[in-house]
Each structure stands twice: as structure tokens, then as C-alpha cells.
Structure 1
Amino acid sequence: MKLTHYRALWLSDIHLGNKDCKAEYLLDFLNHVTVDTLYLVGDIVDMWEMTRQFRWPDAHNQVLQTFMRMSREGTKVIYLPGNHDEPLQSYSGMQFGNIDICREFVHTTAKGKNYLVLHGDQFDGDVTLGKFHGWIGDKGYDLLLFLNRWYNRFRQWQNNHYWSLAGYIKQHIKGANTAIARYRTACCQRAEKMQLDGVICGHIHHPEEHIENGIHYVNDGDWIENCSALGEDNQGNLSLICWTTQMQQHMSVTQLKPRAKTSKAA
């Protein structure tokens, strides 16, 4: 089996311990790649969910063991805790075994472009309209995941491949699109203040790339809805990866092509 090599790879929002985690898909993906630097961009373990109902299937344990094995075998692993694995934030700047823990990091690509890497929960205050709004969002998302779970069980019963119903519905909800736009703007503003070329994040389970005021925004997505990641090849090209699509169509990833910075209006 030919393995795809990445100079850097970004994974976020895996939510190990959550019943909607697509650990089997992630394991299949990890078995097809080699990586120099692996960024675990938050919400890797869903500690919130596990306080409500502890569950740790073998596939979830295998994912964690694979990360640890990669770190021992030469892959540099950097863990940037998010909100669902918030207890680990207090260990920022420390190292556990061969894994570095940090809240934010600046990654330099092979092309010399500098990207802020962070989970993204730092911008929750810029996205939500208050605690009630956030509660409504959580309950609505739980419903989306419930529908997504049963819809794909039905598709599996019909021998059809996985398809994210939750992602499709979310794209057609005006309020969700507004929140995504606010989040994107907040991320880009932080990178701009730091005089960086772009920002790489997760948190909102919405893989995409976008140029905003000359800042290259890339969200690597999740392994709850989209089974997506972000990779950098040895030439410094960034590519969003949708693993379920690649499994189905045996297609190569679509290369992202950041546009040149545009001049800002006075």
C-alpha cells in the first residue's frame, strides 16, 4: 500500500469518547499517511461528553494509541487543547512523553508562510450572542447529530456510503452561516494583528478555506460530521482532505491556492 506523506497534518474535533466520533474512518486515514509534524487542534478527547456518559470503544483507544506511536516513531506531535478538552489547557508549554502541549502555535510552511494554529474557542465571545443563544445552538446541534446518525444507519443498511446530513442542513441555516462568518472574521483579525499570513483552526466543524482582508483562513473540519483534515506537502501546498470522499472516489485532494494579499481600502 502506497502511503501519502505530509510535511504537516492538522486534525481537530475528533471527539474521542463521543458516540458520533468517526474513529474507524480516522484510523483508516492514519493507516494511509506518514507525517513529519502532526497538529492535534483541540477537542481530541470529548471530556464534556464523557462526564455525562463514559464510553471508550476500542477504535477510540486505537486512535489515541496511534498518535502516541507516531510521536515515538519520529513524528513531532503538537496538541492544542480546545474547549471539550479544556483541562489540558493548564498544561500549555509542557510536554507529556513526546507530545508538546500548547494553546497556540505559529507554523511556517515550506513556502515561508506563517500561520497561526489554534482550536478557535478563544473567539466564542465574538460568535455567540450570549449564554441562551449558545444553549440553543448546542441543543440544535445535538438534534442535527441525532438525525445524521440515524440517516447514515439507514444509508448503511442500503449499502450506501457515508454522507453528512448534518453538514448539509447546517449550510442551509442562516443563523449558522452568520455564526461561521463571525468566527472566520475573528480568527483572521487575530492573525492580522500578529502580522501573519493566515490562520488554521477547527472548533466549528466546518472545513473550508477563505481569503479575508488578505489573510488565508483554513478550517480543517472535524471527525464528527465531515471526516476532514488539512495537509501540507513538501512543497508547502495546503490541501483540505475529505477522507470519505477519497475512499469513495479514489481522488486526490483538492489543492488550496491562497491568493496574494490584497490591498485594504483606506
Structure 2
Amino acid sequence: MKIKRKIEIAVISDVHLGTYGCHAKHLLTYLNSIEPKKLILNGDIIDIWQFSKRYFPKSHLKVIKKIMDMAADGVEIFYITGNHDEMLRKFSGTNIGNISIVDKLVLEMDGKKGWFFHGDVFDVSIQQAKWLAKLGGYGYDLLILLNRLVNWYLAKRGKERYSLSKKIKNSVKKAVKFINDYETVISDLAIENDYDYVVCGHIHQPKIEFKENKHGSTIYLNSGDWVENFTALEYQFKRWKIYNYNKDKLAPFYMDESIEDLEVKDLIAAITIVETHEKNQA
């Protein structure tokens, strides 16, 4: 029998289902290991920008079905829209059973206020030149694919994984400045609006950091991603922590055998279960 960790809130972002860079099996293993009261999907879960009928493997479908099953089992799920799944913004405010589609979210946790959003609205390059951002997205996806080939070779040689894209990001001063500016702008706005926590994604940089200025303070949190870092945020016992798949996988949780042979028709059935659950709750 698999023992699941009970937590108040789990936050994941930047999964990019439908791309070669997505590590859906890792994410599914993580989702099978937890029992949250709330699951917050903080943007870029399905990569609609780069969606292709030619590439959406079963492991990616299994993640969607797992989320649907969690909703049917009573987990409150918030799907916060991001830039790669911005098409869903037209459905903001929609509820399907326990799943709510929103652009941003405010939650109270043990007397403190948390502000949740993806974070792309603070990215000028996307707002002013989306076509360029999309082109950059394809290039990034190719980089990730090449990196996976490199890591396959390193694993065969018994050597440590190497993140090519992370190395490039960390070595370019402009990218570092962008990340620092991004975190500062978001934190300053959270302080201005009296939020104790500000939780975002988008830049694939997991972090929990105390931020302050002359007007006050807040806790900045970023859930990272499931392309390079394999991280999530977890809230339990009045505190936040970063879950890291590579470091915190204390027990082997595997994909449910019942969804090994998942087909598209099974995904449709899962959605039907959620809708049926909504009717039963009414």
C-alpha cells in the first residue's frame, strides 16, 4: 500500500505538457505521492503555444487524467492561466466540479494572505512581442531536447546530469538582471497590497525568499518548473517549502497501474466523472 503525504496546498507550474521538454512521468510520480486539500496549477500546464497533434504522448495524458481524478476525489483545484496556455483566459471564472479556472487567486492561510498568479504579465518581451517570445519558446524547446540527449549520454557514462539551459541562463548577466527585476517588481507590488505571500512561476526559478522595502515585507515564492528543476511548492503546518523531485523523493511512488494503458477515450471518461461529481454535489 502506498503512503501519501497529506499537505494543505501543493503548487506546480510550468509543466509544458505537449512539449519534448516536459517530464510528465516525474510529475505523475509526484502527484501520486501527495494528498493535498488544494492543488494550484500556476500556469503553463499545457503548452498551447507549441501544441502539436504529432506529440502528446500517453504520459502527458496520464497527468491530465490524474488531475481530473484528484478533483473527482474532492481535491480543490485552481487552474491559474499562464502565457503558454493563455487561450484558457477566455474561460476565466469557469468552474467544472472542483476545478476553477482563474487568472489570479487570493487565499487566506492561517491568518495570512497569499497572492497567486503565473507572472507573465510582468514580462515585457511577451506583452510587446509575442511572436518573438513564441519563436524563443521553440528554440528553448529544441535546447531542452538536445539537453536530454546529452543527459542520456552522461547517464550511460555514470556521470551527473547537466542543465545546458540553466547554465546559459545563469551565465548571461541580462537574464540574471531580468530575474532579479522580476522578483523585485512582484514583491514590491505584494507589499503595496499587504500580501504576506506572493506565489508565482513563469521564470523556471524555484525560490522562497524574504523581501522587504521601506513600506514593509513579504515572502516571495516561485514554484519552478517540471522541465529542468522538477519542483513544487508545498504548504503545511503554517510554513512553505520547496519540494525537489531529485532530492526529496524519499519513497518510490509509481504510476498507477490502472492508467498504464490510458487512451484519449479514458481522458474523456475522466472529465465526465468530474462533471458527474459536480451534479452529485449540487
Normalising by structure 2, we get a TM-score of: 0.79
The answer to whether structure 1 residue 241 and structure 2 residue 243 are counterparts is yes
How far 1:139 sits from its partner (Å)? Answer: 6.7
Larger gyration radius, structure 1 or structure 2: 2
Rate the CA distance shift 1:34–1:159 in 2: closer, same or farther, 3 A: farther
Q: Counterparts of 1:147 and 1:66 in 2: how far apart (Å)?
A: 29
Q: Aligned equivalents of 1:129 and 1:178: distance in 2? A: 18
Structure 1 residue 226: Cα displacement: 0.6
Moved more, 212-221 or 16-25: 212-221
Output the CA distance in 2 between the equivalents of 1:236 and 1:41: 20
- The structure whose RCO (Cα within 8 Å, separation 6+) is larger is 2
Question: How much does 1:159 deviate?
Answer: 4.8
Equivalent-residue separation in structure 1 for 2:126 and 2:173 (angstroms): 14
2: CA distance, partners of 1:32 / 1:134 = 35
SS of 1:47 mapped into structure 2: coil
- 2:80 is the counterpart of 1:77: no
Q: How many residues align?
A: 245
Answer whether contact 1:9 1:232 (CA < 8 A) is retained.
Answer: yes
Instruction: Determine the C-alpha separation between the residues in 2 that align with 1:236 and 1:64.
Output: 29
Match for residue 14 of structure 2?
Answer: 13
CA distance in 1, matches of 2:160, 2:238: 32
Could you say which residue in structure 2 is the equivalent of 1:195? 194
CA gap of 1:135–1:11, structure 2 versus 1, over 3 A, is: closer
The aligned amino acid for 2:182 is: Y
Report the CA distance shift for 1:74/1:162 in structure 2 as closer, same or farther (over 3 A): farther
Correspondences of 1:247-262 after superposition (within 5 Å): 247=249, 250=250
Instruction: Report how far residue 136 of structure 1 moved.
Output: 8.3
Contact 2:21 2:141 in 1 (8 A): no
Superposition RMSD in Å:
2.4
Q: Distance in 1 between matches of 2:180 and 2:126?
A: 12
Structure 2: state its 5+ residue gaps.
Answer: 252-282
1:246 partner amino acid: D
Q: Name the amino acid aligned to 1:47.
A: I
Deviation at 1:190, TM superposition (A): 2.5
Shift of 1:140: 6.2
Which moves more between the two structures, 190-199 or 133-142? 133-142
How high is the sequence identity, in percent, across the aligned residues? 33
In the TM superposition, residue 148 of structure 1 has moved relative to its aligned partner by: 2.1
User: 1:62 is matched by which residue type in structure 2?
Assistant: K
Q: Is 1:121 matched with 2:120?
A: yes
Check whether the contact 2:19–2:141 (CA below 8 A) recurs between aligned residues. no
